[in-house]
Amino acid sequence: MKKLTFFIALFTASISIINAQKKQVTLEEIWGGEFRGEYMDALQSMKDGEHYSVLDFNKASRSTSVNKYSYKTLQKTATLVDSKDIKDISYFSNYAFSSDESQLLLATDITPVFRHSTLGKYYIYNIKTKTTRLVSEQKIQEPTFSPDGTKVAYVFENNIYYKNIATGQVTQVTTDGMNNEIINGVTDWVYEEEFAFVRAFEWNKTGTKIAYLRFDEANVPEFSMDVYGKSLYQTQHVFKYPKAGEENSKVTLYIHDVKSRKNNQVIVNDYEYIPRLKWTKDTNVLSFQKTNRHQNKLDLVFVNATDFSTKTILTDSDPAYVDVTDNLTFLSNNSFIWTSEKDGYNHIYHYSKSGKLINQVTKGNWEVTNYYGFDDKKEMIYYQSVENGSINRDVYAININGNGKKRLSSKTGTNNATFSNNFTYYINTFSNSTTPNEFTLNSAKNGKVIKNIKDNSKLKAKVANYAVSPKEFSTINVNGNDLNMWMIKPLDFDASKKYPMLMYQYSGPGSQQVANRWNSANDYWYQHLAQQGYIITCIDGRGTGFKGRDFKKVTQKELGKYEVEDQIQAAKQLGAKPYIDASRIGIWGWSYGGFMSSNALFKGNDVFKMAIAVAPVTSWRFYDSVYTERYMTTPQENASGYDDNSPINHVDKLKGDYLLIHGSADDNVHLQNTMRLVEALIQADKQFEWGVYPDDNHGIYGGNTRLHLYKKMTNFIKENL
């Protein structure tokens, strides 16, 4: 027995020596980009289905180019445009083809507006003649080729224009655009943020008509943020932001006729939002989606673009809410593909052009997580799902009649596909918790790997030199549910010792943090903390996604109740393990996660020793209408739902150590949330730490900011956990 004990001790000592010889992950390396992997930027399949294009950056010449590659060989076959060859352009950051791929729109001098929207200078580049034409002298938004490639439509100062490329003639479609009052052709703040689209105009397939949305936001309350900058006096950024229960923009639908230059309003009844526009395969039939304020009834409506009459084709309803997606696909006969949770899980459906159900294409107690497209020649649908476990993603093909399903991806982890235009090939991006992104060329017929493109082997080799602990996946039964969980332990973990534990979570409706994919920047931070002797844990509780509608929507009207109960109970159960010090459990989160970590510390004051909340929502009364009311209805209808789980109303329970962080220019979760919570804490005579990052938005980044933030959080953890 003594000899066995000696060898075990010797083995443990040897492992410790090996681990000690490995490098430690530093904060400077994480936020200095040392662990960034390789990607394929702005990849687009080209029309012939045999080639793809990529935006490349040449370090030597400091120029950008759009290069054409062969799927078969993966070799570059042509440089379509290079900024070093264009007199007026030193670089471009994105590109878009005309439908016949003879022209490119090149984006330069881009300025962010909000999360998705930008202003920029755009050039039209003719690939054959190698000539360049500026679309507009001013910075514009969302330039888009007409289908025949003769015109470019765009938005300038809230009005829609289009330019004849050959003659240079500019036609103004709308004239009433005005800042903070009327917007034509692009969305307002809340549509952009919560319905995830910016361009609110669409050409029909012949380029003879433009459908567009008009936003009247005159009665939407304004929100203002101080911008400190470097001048003597601060300025203010003022924009329209409808908080929960407040007035939204009045949105109307129009169709512009290019020949007559007339704008005709489409009369839409019984709606609050129009979150999607899309022309069908019929040049004179427009589709749009409308939903009520509660977002629990979504209609697909067809518009006759000759007489502007409307017809509701399909209605999807749910006791909680119906998600808006980009999955709607019209087939050549104007039948269409649609996704819905109506059987309890998100699945693919095929409807006739009149809205009659032809068949449910996918079925099962699992979720379709991405819809890739339809091959009309093979009549095959391509999609991504969690059939191989809710923390994994796989790529599948299935006949439109629901038969002949094939799993195309083969490795367990996260697989995502970008298909060629003719669905002959796809580029698969694969990763899991131990493998950085691998890019492979695959056959769409059977998923077979044809060639490797990039495998991030250099990054994998670099990480191998560091003392990195594996991410252990498991489930934990909490409050009657098997919840997905991961845990990172110190590399020299000793089960006979007790360790402090930091829990991370987000928990927003339909979200997922426990996923089998490669490291995010936060994961490297967790490795840094594990090297300091901490166990890091993440648990996806009730309300998170990819386990069916009932699991996701149980939090309806009570955001912050069940999610917090799950985190508190999970902490108690983990704290009972012999290797976790139950007196040293902390929790942190960002945004919705900050809302959660604050509530967990206050309500679970006998469980959590400390918490960090970054950019937290502290009352859903302060957040925007579209997101909040989707899950909570309005404050006027559900006051207790808003107030019972607001951290502001539980500050009296604070016992542990609390760090509160926010950016002063957060246009999403306003600094108001932190200020109101701070005042409540002060009046409750509760001590806490807090910091405000000047002129930083919801992401709190830029320059040295992220490094500073994570140093602050790391120091707080070391001092208080």
333-334-337 Cα angle (round to 5):
115
Max intra-chain CA distance, the chain? 96
Q: Which two tokens stand for residue 47?
A: 């029309």
In angstroms, the CA 19 to CA 35 distance is: 19
**56 closest CA partner among 81, 90, 85:** 81
**Which has the closest alpha carbon to 618: 562, 683, 670?**
670
Q: How does DSSP classify residue 188?
A: -
Distance CA 278, CA 326 (A): 10
Our CA angle for 667, 668, 674, nearest 5°, is 90
Burial of 604 from C-beta contacts in 10 A (0-12 / 13-18 / 19+): buried
Closest Cα partner for 617 from 506, 467, 483?
A: 506
> Residue 240 belongs to what H/E stretch?
strand 235-240
* Dist CA 143 CA 676 (whole Å): 41
Catalytic annotation present for 63: no
Measured CA to CA, the distance from residue 107 to residue 122 in angstroms comes to: 5
**Is 188 tagged catalytic?**
no
The arrangement of strands across the sheet holding 380-385 comes to: 368-375, 380-385, 394-399, 406-407
CB atoms within 10 A of CB 640: 10
User: Which tokens go with 585?
Assistant: 């459990």
Q: Which residue has the tokens 């010090």?
A: 581
How many Cβ atoms are within 10 Å of 4's Cβ, its own excluded?
Answer: 8
The secondary structure of 639-692, three-state, reads HHHHHCCCHHHHHHHCCCEEEEEEECCCCCCCCHHHHHHHHHHHHCCCCCEEEE
φ, ψ of residue 155 in degrees (nearest 5)? -120, 130
For residue 664, give Cα distances in angstroms to 577, 675, 702.
41, 10, 14
Torsion angle defined by CA atoms of residues 201, 203, 209 and 213, in that order, rounded to the nearest 10 degrees: -10
Pairing state between β 209-216 and 63-70 = unpaired
In the block, which residue shows the tokens 């050039």?
123
Are β-strands 657-663 and 610-614 bridged in parallel, bridged antiparallel, or unpaired? parallel
From 316, 566, 666, 667, active-site residue? 666
309 is catalytic: no
**H/E stretch holding 163:** strand 159-164
Active site residues: 591, 666, 698
